Amino acid sequence: MKELGFINYFLGISVVSSSEGYFLSQHKYATELLANAGMSDCKSYSSPMALKHSDSSTDISFSNPSLYRSVVGVLQYLTITHPDLSFAMNYACQFMHLPMDSHFAHVKRLLRYVKGTLHLGLHFSPGPLLLQAYSDSDWVGSSYDRRSIIGFCVFLGHNLIFWSAKKQPTVARSSTDAEYCALAQTAAELSWLTMLLSDLHIIVPSPTLWCGNISAISLSSNLVFHARTKHVEVDYHFVRERVAAKQLHICHISTLDQLADIFTKPLSTQRFQYLQAKLMVL
């Protein structure tokens, strides 16, 4: 090992330190990305995805699928300091095998959003060592296969350290089912992070998980297992054990305050920018 001094640039990520903490950005990487895509002088967008996107069955196949895969592959790395891109990137990645013209139009909008947010990045500041997470799901959010979208984010103090936006592997038969699957996945990540911090000799209190679905929260502490939800029995017992052992606290949160909303669906510009700032993308 070699001591290289204070970090300022690593694997395309710029790190600026100050008395207030650290600021991570990929300004240079994003600028080169736009240049390679021939969109350095494009007009910018204030959000990465249209509020209503069309999934027309009459759409035409994109003429250059290799270009689509190349651009989307490069864009994925940008989500390291741009968690606000996660949902739009997840949508774009679903069509790598057979992209359509509308999908490439979506990618071009993504690039225009990147153009207008070159100055943004993640901010990390000192704070209490407390873990808390936000879990959400957009029931049957995909119009292609009616699978739900899971979104969650984890904070250590005020700092966003983990996030995810992806499609569930199976079709959920109810909103409670979809929300509870998201709850279980978030609980698993919190469990792993707690063990990781413990290995680093950092003991944190039991994490708090914020969920907007009252039925899913009730299911996590209900001793009676209902027949209508027996198909989520594994997830039920996993979460239930942690709640019973007081290793996890699950609390209700209103839709307006649900930060994971940005990982599950397209949002209006005002709502998107509000949640973006809450994620410490500044």
Is the same domain home to 134 and 220? yes
Q: Is residue 3 part of a domain?
A: no
Q: Which of 6-10, 80-84, 263-267 is most confident?
A: 80-84
Is the same domain home to 72 and 160? no
| Confidence bin at 236 (pLDDT 50/70/90) | low
Is the same domain home to 101 and 167? no
- Residue ending a domain, among 74, 91, 116, is 116
Largest CA distance in the chain: 60
Average pLDDT over residues 130-156: 87
- Dump the DSSP string for 48-90: SS-SS----TTPPBPS-HHHHHHHHHHHHGGGGT-GGGHHHHH
Q: What local confidence, expressed as pLDDT, does residue 220 receive?
A: 78
Phi and psi at 20, nearest 5°, equal -90, -10
Which residues, other chains included, contact 206 with Cβ-Cβ below 8 Å and sequence gap of 6+?
Answer: 246, 247, 248, 249
CA-wise closest residue to 275 among 105, 45, 48, 114 = 48
Domain that holds residue 140: 127-278
Lowest mean pLDDT among 23-27, 119-123, 265-269: 265-269
CA-wise closest residue to 74 among 47, 101, 93 = 93
| Confidence bin at 57 (pLDDT 50/70/90) | low
Q: Is residue 2 part of a domain?
A: no
Q: What local confidence, expressed as pLDDT, does residue 82 receive?
A: 94
Q: What local confidence, expressed as pLDDT, does residue 215 receive?
A: 83
Number of domains in the chain: 2
Average pLDDT over residues 29-37: 93
Q: Is residue 4 part of a domain?
A: no
Q: What local confidence, expressed as pLDDT, does residue 24 receive?
A: 96
Classify residue 278 by its DSSP letter: H
Q: What local confidence, expressed as pLDDT, does residue 213 receive?
A: 86
Is the same domain home to 186 and 242? yes
pTM for the structure as a whole: 0.88
- Residue ending a domain, among 68, 92, 116, is 116
Work out the mean pLDDT of the chain and round it to a whole number: 87
181-210 residue pLDDT tens: 888 899 999 999 999 999 999 999 999 999
> Which percentage of the chain shows pLDDT scores above 90?
55
Whether the per-residue pLDDT at 258 is higher than 60: the answer is: yes
| Confidence bin at 168 (pLDDT 50/70/90) | confident
Is the same domain home to 259 and 151? yes
Average pLDDT over residues 52-56: 62
| Confidence bin at 230 (pLDDT 50/70/90) | low
